[in-house]
Amino acid sequence: MAKHMEDHPEDHPKEFCGLFGVYGLKNPAATIYRGLFSLQHRGQEGAGIVVGDGTDVRSVRGLGLVSDVLNKQSWPQLTGHLGIGHVRYSTTGSTRIQNVQPIIVECADGVWCVAHNGNLVNAGPLRRMYQDSGAIFQTSTDSEILVHLLADPMYRRRPQRVARALAELKGAYCFLIMTKDCLMAARDPLGFRPLSIGKLGSAWVVASETCALQQTGATYVRDVEPGELVYFDETGMRSVMVGEGPAPKLAQCVFEMVYFARPDSTVFGHGVHAVRVKFGERLAEEFPVEADMVIPIPDSGSAAALGYSRRSGIPLDYGFIRNHYVGRTFIMPLQEDRVEGVDMKLTLLPEVVRGKRVVVVDDSIVRGTTARRRVERLREAGAKEIHMRISCPPIAHPCFYGIDFPTKDELIGGARTVEAIREYLGADSLGYLSLEGMMSPFKDQKGFCSACFTGKYPVDPTGMMGKHELEMTTPELQFLPPTAKVD
């Protein structure tokens, strides 16, 4: 029986979700909390934990940051030896409590808990199919599709039911799936999103990024392979392949390396910080300029700025200082919050840039409004010249695999030339890292998805639904107060 305790313009893309799970650890809530805290950069809209003890499953979920939702007062109630956690930014579904994960349902064979990172391109047709047959959905996210597949008698009565259900999904996914006594971790055959396995003593740990393993003291073992479903239970760890296993050509998201992943993570076998430094070095080769200093847009542009400085010989300094009490404004769900957060997030140091020729290094430009505001502030502070350098190519196409990029018309890289963007920003020069330069740190350059730069989609997105379209038949639900318990 499930027991629930429910709490009631950054110029970057919006995504994302972070997953953390454990098996075989006594009272794992504190460890899951630390893991989710280190993944907060992947989502700050909502957070949740589900813990099982072999008989009961208990959860705490709510809107807000990990530290707001999952406070220590809840931990004594979350007893058990396995659990999963989730931090959310919505790429499908609006900001409301029933969309906060993990999703918990009771099926004919017991409780199932699901946490998801990614986007399913065939969620719409599958949802309509189940609704037409009488199924009831409790969320407006694509993640709930897997729950209905698992509960479907066609899969429930067959061997390898979870793997067979996963094989019906198209698009990008990493899933953590939990029953009362088993933890499962799955990754789509194209490997869009990262998912890693670690050991903490005799316990197993699974996380979206290796920084979460480090944060909890776990030792990295390996990644969940593309197309792999891994089981953790009292017998240990074992795995099966989903469908036909990994695709002939992988589509690992290169934007993980550009922006999303924390610099202290290893993603797709590459140290993120080292890759970003190489981006900056290559950027200096492709777009040299005479200047007095290189300044990063912290924190995402810091490593590339370091690389640019090293290769160009131009000193690195800090013209902007980040306020770390303002979160990643790109994942704030409301546009007005993102706009307000821009100036709050970064403080300009006029004495550093006054009268200087500055190279400003950032990771990306999406709409251009934030970058333009920063150029304006540098001008106001007396910067003599402003040369913008971006450590990826222009983002010209929407993403359908878990990044909430706008439509092509809203993307400044899709609607304007580089020169037109430079004029809009008000910079003296603008240089984007070439596609070849972005891919240069990787041996297997064909194993990455770069659709947001090239428009070449590895999975056909035809019929992909918008962020809020799954809500068309989903009424608003009223939830109990934060302290209420439901047995």
- Out of 17, 113, 253, 399, the active site residue is 17
CA atoms within 13 A on the CB side of 340: 6
User: Of 435, 449, 129, whose CA–CA distance to 282 is shortest?
Assistant: 435
Cα(449)–Cα(254) distance, integer angstroms: 6
Q: Torsion-angle region of residue 368: left (phi > 0), alpha (psi -120 to 50) or beta?
A: left
Token pair recorded at residue 34: 């630390």
The residue type of 357 is R
User: Of 287, 363, 352, 349, whose CA–CA distance to 315 is shortest?
Assistant: 352
Residues 251 and 192 sit within 8 Å (Cβ to Cβ): yes
User: Of 279, 293, 422, 434, whose CA–CA distance to 362 is shortest?
Assistant: 279
Please report, for residues 287, 359, 368, 380, the alpha-carbon distance to residue 349 in angstroms, rounded to integers and kept in the order given: 25, 15, 22, 11
392 is catalytic: no
Token pair recorded at residue 304: 């590339």
Place of tokens 């789509």: 188
What's the Rg (C-alpha) of the chain? 23
Cα(20)–Cα(205) distance, integer angstroms: 7
Cα(329)–Cα(10) distance, integer angstroms: 5
Question: Known catalytic residues?
Answer: 17
